[in-house]
Structure 1
C-alpha cells in the first residue's frame, strides 16, 4: 500500500512540525471525492449484507424492531410522514394524537430533525420499516464518506485505504450495537468527522460561513450526540494545533494557535445559536420531563473494555470499540512508527489514551453526557474514540505500509489486548476465529505491500494488497454485524414487524375517528406508541420528553407505564374514557403469539359509548382530596374527583387470606350486585381472577415492577347476585415483593351512576369544539360559570382565555387545563406554544446577524489583502526525500 505522494521533509523542523506552505497548500479534491464515494458505497453494501446474513427485514423475515427502534423511532417516523403530507390533526407545535396532546416540537428536535428523516415521504404509508431502514443505511454511509474525506484532508495518501478506514468508522461496533437501533444517534456519527473538518477550517482561516452552518445542521439533526461530537472535534483541533503550526518564534506560534481556538469557538457559538430555536425547546422539554431514577455510573471492567475492541461482541454495559482488527492493528502501530514525527505520535497517542480513560471516570463520563448519567447505555460517546483510532491508523499508513518494527509493535500490542480480553463475558464464540481470519488476510496484504516496494513499477501487488485488506475488513464486519443482531434479539425486548394487525387497526380507526368531537383510542398494538402508528387520539405516549405532569396525572388515575414513567399506556376503563372524552375504543384479540419472523394478526372490535365533550364546565372546586398516602387515597377516588361524581363502591377493608399451598392469596369483599369489579394493583406481578367468572374469561395479568413498570388497573368481571367478591391472586414465583397491594385495591363501578354523570357533563359542556393545529376553541352554553375544564394535560406551554380576553398561562385543575368563567364568555380558547420558542428564536436571529457580520468581515479582508489570499491558495512543491513524515 505505498503512497504515490512524496511527504514533506521535516528533519530540519523542530519537533517535526509541518512548514506553513505545506499546511496551506491546496490538496487535490478528486482523491477525496473518490474516497468518500468509495466509503459510502462500500458501507452501504456491507450494512445491507450484514442484514441479509442476519435474516432481518428488509432482506429477511425477522424483525429489526429492537427496544426503542420499534417503540419510538418507527412510530415517530410513521407519524412524521402523515404530518408532512398534511394527514395529521396537529402541527409542528402540538401532537394531538399522543398523550392526549403533547409537545411535538420537542419530539421533533429529539427524534425527527435530521435532514435524512424527510425521506420518509418517499415511501408508502404501509412501509415505514423500509423507510427507516433506508434512512439508517444512508446515515451510516454518509458517516463513512465524511470520515474518508476527513482522513485525506488530515494527510494525503492512497484513497482506497482512506475509503476502507472510513467504512471501518461507519460500521464500527458502536454502529451495530447502538446506532443502528437508535437512528437519531447516527447523526452524531455523521457530525464528528464534519465538525473535525470545521476545526480544520478554523485553524486555516477558511470557510467562516460554511463552518457555522455545518455546526448548526449537526446540532439541529441531533443535539445530544452533536454535543459529544463537538467535544471530540475539540480534542481533534487541540491535537492538530499542538502538532502542526506556522514557522516562527514561539510567541508567533502561540498567537496563531490562540487565534485558531477563538475562530473555532466563534464558529461553534454561531452554529449552536442558529440551532437554538429547536435546541432550546428540547433542552427546556427535558427540564419538565418525567424524571428517571438517578443512575450511578459504574465503570466497566477493563477486561470487558478490551474485549469490545474485538469482533462479534455485544453489550450495553461496556463501550463498543470494534473498528476491525486490521484497522486496529494499524492504529496500534502509530506509537512505534518512526516515519511519523515524534511530536505527532505523542500528541495522538496521548489524546487517544486520555479519551479512553475518560470513558471510565465518572466526572468525565458526566462531561460527555452533559452532566447527567444516562439510563440505559452508558457509553454513547464511544463513536468519538472509534474515530480517533481510525485517524491514528490513517496517520500511520498514509505514507506507506509501516516498517517491520512498527508492524511487530502493533501486532504485539494487539496480541496482549486479545489475551487480556479472553476472560471477558462479552467474548463470543465467533470473536477469536473472526479476528484471526481478518488478521491473516491483513498479514497477506502487508506482504503484498512490502513486495510492491521492491517492484514499484508493478500495479498488481498494490491492488492485491488493497483487495486483501478489503476482504479482511469486510468479512470481519459482516460477522460482527450478524452476531450483534442475533445476540440483541435473544437478550432484549423486541416488537414484531408491521403487519395486518397494524394495517387493520389503522383502517378501523380511520373509519371511526371523530376528532375533535371525541377521541378514538386504538388500544394496544404491538410496538408501543400505538396512536403514532395507527392513528387516533390516546394516552399511549413514549418519549424522552414525556411530561412529568402528564405521567403523574395518569399514574394517579390508575394508568400503567413502562420506561420508568416515560411511556404511559392506554387504560381501558369507562370512567377515564369519560374524563378524557374517549367515545370510541378499539380492542384487539391476537390470532396467535408474537413471533420474530411472522407478521402479527388480530381480530379488532369497536366499542362506542356516549362521553362528554372535550370541554366541560364544572360549577365549583373539586371535592377535597383524601390525605396523601391514606387508605382513602386511591386511584378510584382520584378518578371520581376528576369526573366530579361518585361512581365506585370501594370496600374499606377487603380481607386477604393465603392459599393452602402458600403460593397465592385470596381477596374477599362485598359490593353491589351487578357492579363491575376493578383491581388496582400497580406493583403486583402475577394474575388475578374473579371467582365465579365464566370459564372462558382468562385471568387478568399484572406486571408491576417499580421503578420501571407500573401495572394499570384492570376489570375482573361482574359482582354476582350475592354481592360477595372473591379474587384469586397468583403472584409470579420470583416476584418481589410477592403481594404488595394498596390498602383498598378493589373498586366496584356502578354503571348507572357513571351514565348519570356523563349526561350531566354533556348537558352543561361545550356545544361545539374546534381544533386547528395547536389551538382548541370551544363554544359554551350562555351564562356558564365556574371553570371550563379541557380534557388535555396541563403541560408547560399552554395559554388560555375566556371570550375575547388575551391569552395567558393556563390554569390547572387536577392536572388538566382549566379556564375560569364569569358567566359572560361563551367561548374558551387555548393555544400551545412550546417553551423555548421565543428565546430560541431570539438567539437564532442574533446568531444569524453574527453570521452575516462574519461573512461581511471575511469578504472585506479578502478584498483588502489579495496577496495574502494567494498565499493560501498556492500549491507547494514537496521534497523528494524524507527522514520523517510530519502531519
Structure 2
C-alpha cells in the first residue's frame, strides 16, 4: 500500500483518539466530497467548452426534451415562484387551456435544486438550467465520495476520483444531462445507501426517513430505482459486514431500513399520490415490448465516447472499470466481501437484460424511449466494487493482471458494436496507459518508503486519465446528440419579442392570448399567454382527445398538443389575440433565433359561455369540422364530398369561403390551385398534423387541391371544410350576447356572472380534466360535467353565477398518508431518545 494511502487510513482510524481528533477526522472525511465536487464541476464545464455548447460556446444544448420540456418548465417555475403567472401551484392556465400543475411540479420541478432559477433573470433561464444541472451532478459526486468513505476507510483522493467517475458516468452524460429531473435519482442513490448504513448500525432513525422523503419528493421515478439499488447495497452489507454477523442483527437492520423507507415515502405522499393519480388519467402511450440490447453493444457502452438510447450507458472511466474488475481476484479483500459485491454487480447487470427484472426496475411498465434508465445504479455498484478493491492500496500484481485481462477481453469483444465512435479506442488506450503508469508509480512507492512523491504522481496520473476520458466522452456525446436527434435553438430575440407582445396584449381572463409557434415547444411556458401548446408526461387523455377531435395537432403520441391557428378554434377557446411569427433568418444550432412577430386581435366569446337546451342543427359525422360546429352550436362550414383523382381533390364551395384541409395522418404538401403549397407532418401515432388553411375559394366556386408527389395519402372521409366567415361572425355574436357578462379568475378558480334567466349549460373553455368542481350560485360544488370534452355546469334559469375550482386529485389521500407518516416519525424519534437515555 502506498505510504500516502497508509497515512490517510491510519489518520481515519486513529485521530478520533487524540485531542481534537474528532474534528480532524471530520475534516478528512469532508475533503473527498469537496474535491469530488470541484473536479466534477471543472470537467463538466470543460466538456461543454470542448463541444462549443452554451454557455461556453454558441451552439445550443437543447436537444429533445431538454429544449421542449425542461427549459420551458423552469422558465415558468421561475415566474410562478416570483408571482408572475396567472395560475398557481394547482393549475397552470398557460398550457393546454388549463392543466394540473401540481402533478407537473412533482414530475419536473420538485427538486430543491430547481429553486435556484429564482436567482437568474428571466432572459437567462438557459444559464439557470445549466447551473441547476451542474449543481445536481456535482452533488452526486460529493455524495458518492462520502458514501465510499463511510463503507470503508481509504485514501480520500481515490474516493474523490471515484465520486467524480460516478457523477460523470456515461448515464449522466448521455441521459441525465439532458433529462435534469433524472439527476435527482443520481444524487439519491448514494444518499439512500447512507440511509441503509444508518439503519444497519441503528443510527439516525429520524434523519434517515427525512432523506428518503427528500429523494422521493425530488423525483419519485428515479428515487424508486435508487431505492431498489440501495436495497441491493444494504443486502450485501448485511451479509458481508462484521457488525451484522448474526441473523438477529441482520433482521433488525433490514427492519430498520424498511421503516425508514416506508416513513419517508409516506412523508412524500402528498406529492407522490398526486403524480401517481395524474399518470392514471394521462394520455396513454403505445405499449412497448422490451427487447434486450445485443451484448456486444452492452460491452461497448463500458468504453468512452459511446452514445445510444438503445443500450445501457455504463461508462465509468477505464481506470475505475479496471479497478472494479480486479475485485474478484483481490485477495487483500475478504472472500465474502469479494463474493458479495461481485455477485451483486453480475446479477444487476443481468437484470438489465431480462424482461421481468426490467419491468421491476421501471415499476411494472416498460418506458417509451430510453429503456435503460436504471443504469446509474449499476454504475454506482461498479464504483463501490472499485473502491473495495482499492481502499487498502493498489491491488496485488496477480489481481491487476487478471483485471487487465478482463478489461482487454471486454474491449476486444465490443470492437464490432455500432456504438463505437472514432474517439473510443484512442481515449480508451490513452486512459489505460496513464492508469498503467500510475499503478507502476504506486507499486514503486510500496518498495521505496522514501519516495513520497510517487504516490502524489500516481494520483495525478489517475486524475488525468479519468478527466481526459470524461471530457472527451462528454464532448462526443453532445456532438452526436446534436447530429442525430431533434433539437431546439437557444432562447433569443424571437422569444423576447414574442414575450413582449404577449405582455402588451394580455387581457386574461377577458380572453386568451395565444403566442403561436415559437421554436422550442411548450411555447406559452417560455413567452407567456394562454394556448394549447403543452408537453408533459401527464398530459390528460381528455385534453389530448378533445383537442385532436377538434383538428389540433400533436407530437409525442398525444402528450404534446400544439396550437391551431383556426378562427373557429379561437372562438371555442376564447383566443382573442393571436401572435404570428415570421423568421427573419434560418433557425440554426449555433445562433439565437430572430423573427418578426405580429399580434392580431379579433372579437371572441367570453371564457364562459352558455349553450341553450336542445341539440343544435349542425353537420353530422365525426370530422373535426363537424365536431367544431357541435361545440360551437352553429353551422359555419360547407362540407363538400371531394372527388379524388390520383393525388388531386376537386369539390365546390361558396365563393369567398376559406378552404381548410384536415389530414392528421398525411405527410406531404397540399396546395389550392393558384396558392402556395402547405406542409403537413403527420406520422401516426407519434405526430398528428393540425388542420390548415389552404386559401380562398375563387368566384367560380371550384376547389382543386393538389397533393405532394411523395408518400402514401391517408385522408379522413371529410378532409375539406369551407369556412363561411359571415356564419362564424354571427355565431360569435350570439355566444357573446348569451355568455358571461363578467369573468373573474384567480389561481385555480373561475367565477362567471351570467345574464338573468340563463338556461341550458354553462361551458368553461377548458378541457374537463379530473379535479374540476363547479357550482351554480351558492350550491355545493360537485364534480364538473362535460360538454363535448369541456367543463360544463347545468343551468336551470335561476342561477346568476357559476364558480368552478380545480383541486388536483389525490391531495386529501396524500395529506392523510403524510400526516400518518409524520406521526410515525415522531414516535420513532421519541422511542429512540428514550432508549438512548436508558
TM-score (norm 1): 0.92
Match of 1:57, SS state, is: coil
User: Within 1, Cα distance between the matches of 2:303 and 2:26?
Assistant: 34
Match of 1:53 in 2: 50
- Cα distance, 1:607 vs structure 2: 1.1
2:418 counterpart of 1:425:
yes
User: Within 1, Cα distance between the matches of 2:83 and 2:243?
Assistant: 56
2:670 counterpart of 1:688:
yes
Match of 2:699 in 1: 721
Answer whether contact 2:767 2:791 (CA < 8 A) is retained.
yes
Q: Give the alignment's Cα RMSD to 1 decimal.
A: 1.4
Match of 1:790 in 2: 764
Match of 1:672 in 2: 654
Match of 1:286 in 2: 279
Residue 781 (structure 2) aligned to one of 807, 815, 820: 807
- Cα distance, 1:825 vs structure 2: 1.1
2:645 counterpart of 1:657:
yes
Deviations 1:277-333 (A, max 9, x none): 000100000000000000110000000000000000000000000000000000000
Match of 2:370 in 1: 377
User: Within 2, Cα distance between the matches of 1:383 and 1:31?
Assistant: 27
Q: How does 1:584-733 map to 2 (within 5 A)?
A: 584-623=577-616, 632-651=621-640, 653-658=641-646, 665-693=647-675, 698-731=676-709, 733=710
Answer whether contact 1:192 1:230 (CA < 8 A) is retained.
yes
- Cα distance, 1:7 vs structure 2: 7.9
Answer whether contact 1:38 1:163 (CA < 8 A) is retained.
yes
Deviations 1:743-785 (A, max 9, x none): 1100000000000000000000000001101101000011111
Match of 2:541 in 1: 548
User: Within 1, Cα distance between the matches of 2:417 and 2:25?
Assistant: 46
The 1:5/1:235 distance shift into structure 2, 3 A limit, reads: farther
- Cα distance, 1:436 vs structure 2: 0.3
- Cα distance, 1:824 vs structure 2: 1.3
- Cα distance, 1:29 vs structure 2: 2.4
Match of 1:538, SS state, is: coil
Residue 36 (structure 2) aligned to one of 36, 39, 47: 39
Q: How does 1:237-276 map to 2 (within 5 A)?
A: 237-246=234-243, 253-276=246-269
Match of 2:750, SS state, is: strand
Match of 2:380 in 1: 387
Match of 1:872 in 2: none
User: Within 2, Cα distance between the matches of 1:453 and 1:517?
Assistant: 79
Match of 2:477 in 1: 484
Match of 1:13 in 2: none
Deviations 1:234-253 (A, max 9, x none): 000000001014477xxxx1
Match of 2:350 in 1: 357
Match of 1:790, SS state, is: strand
Residue 504 (structure 1) aligned to one of 492, 497, 502: 497
- Cα distance, 1:719 vs structure 2: 0.2
Answer whether contact 1:626 1:633 (CA < 8 A) is retained.
no
Match of 1:228 in 2: 225
Which residues of structure 1 form unaligned runs of 5+? 9-20, 659-664, 865-887
The 1:404/1:728 distance shift into structure 2, 3 A limit, reads: same
User: Within 1, Cα distance between the matches of 2:615 and 2:283?
Assistant: 25
Match of 2:13 in 1: none
The 1:264/1:441 distance shift into structure 2, 3 A limit, reads: same
Answer whether contact 1:313 1:431 (CA < 8 A) is retained.
yes
Answer whether contact 1:313 1:427 (CA < 8 A) is retained.
yes
- Cα distance, 1:593 vs structure 2: 1.5
Answer whether contact 2:9 2:154 (CA < 8 A) is retained.
no
Answer whether contact 2:244 2:250 (CA < 8 A) is retained.
no
Match of 1:330 in 2: 323
The 1:626/1:607 distance shift into structure 2, 3 A limit, reads: closer
User: Within 2, Cα distance between the matches of 1:730 and 1:214?
Assistant: 58
User: Within 2, Cα distance between the matches of 1:384 and 1:102?
Assistant: 33
- Cα distance, 1:657 vs structure 2: 1.2
Worse overlay, 264-273 or 818-827: 818-827
Match of 1:755 in 2: 729
Residue 366 (structure 1) aligned to one of 359, 366, 390: 359
User: Within 2, Cα distance between the matches of 1:356 and 1:623?
Assistant: 62
Deviations 1:450-488 (A, max 9, x none): 011112233211100000000000001111000000000
- Cα distance, 1:656 vs structure 2: 1.0
Match of 1:867 in 2: none
Residue 444 (structure 1) aligned to one of 430, 434, 437: 437
The 1:53/1:727 distance shift into structure 2, 3 A limit, reads: same
Deviations 1:166-214 (A, max 9, x none): 0000000000000000000000000000000000000000000000000
User: Within 1, Cα distance between the matches of 2:674 and 2:417?
Assistant: 54
Answer whether contact 2:302 2:313 (CA < 8 A) is retained.
yes
Match of 1:356, SS state, is: helix
Match of 1:717, SS state, is: strand
Q: How does 1:168-183 map to 2 (within 5 A)?
A: 168-183=165-180
User: Within 1, Cα distance between the matches of 2:404 and 2:628?
Assistant: 68
User: Within 2, Cα distance between the matches of 1:852 and 1:293?
Assistant: 44
- Cα distance, 1:621 vs structure 2: 4.4
- Cα distance, 1:625 vs structure 2: 9.0
- Cα distance, 1:266 vs structure 2: 0.4
The 1:272/1:636 distance shift into structure 2, 3 A limit, reads: same
Q: How does 1:569-584 map to 2 (within 5 A)?
A: 569-584=562-577
- Cα distance, 1:435 vs structure 2: 0.3
The 1:153/1:502 distance shift into structure 2, 3 A limit, reads: same
Answer whether contact 2:8 2:155 (CA < 8 A) is retained.
no
Answer whether contact 2:149 2:156 (CA < 8 A) is retained.
yes
Q: How does 1:386-405 map to 2 (within 5 A)?
A: 386-405=379-398
User: Within 2, Cα distance between the matches of 1:410 and 1:417?
Assistant: 11
Match of 1:881 in 2: none
Deviations 1:677-701 (A, max 9, x none): 00000000000111023xxxx3110
Residue 165 (structure 1) aligned to one of 140, 162, 169: 162
User: Within 1, Cα distance between the matches of 2:554 and 2:171?
Assistant: 29
Aligned residues: 826
Match of 1:520, SS state, is: strand
Answer whether contact 1:32 1:148 (CA < 8 A) is retained.
no
- Cα distance, 1:31 vs structure 2: 2.3
User: Within 1, Cα distance between the matches of 2:352 and 2:811?
Assistant: 34
Answer whether contact 1:280 1:836 (CA < 8 A) is retained.
yes
User: Within 2, Cα distance between the matches of 1:314 and 1:435?
Assistant: 15
2:802 counterpart of 1:820:
no
Q: How does 1:405-420 map to 2 (within 5 A)?
A: 405-420=398-413
Match of 1:100, SS state, is: coil
2:764 counterpart of 1:764:
no
If asked which structure has higher relative contact order (CA below 8 Å, sep 6+), I would say 1
Match of 2:669, SS state, is: strand
Q: How does 1:824-863 map to 2 (within 5 A)?
A: 824-863=798-837
TM-score (norm 2): 0.97
Match of 2:778, SS state, is: coil
Match of 1:775 in 2: 749
Answer whether contact 2:618 2:633 (CA < 8 A) is retained.
no
User: Within 2, Cα distance between the matches of 1:165 and 1:498?
Assistant: 36
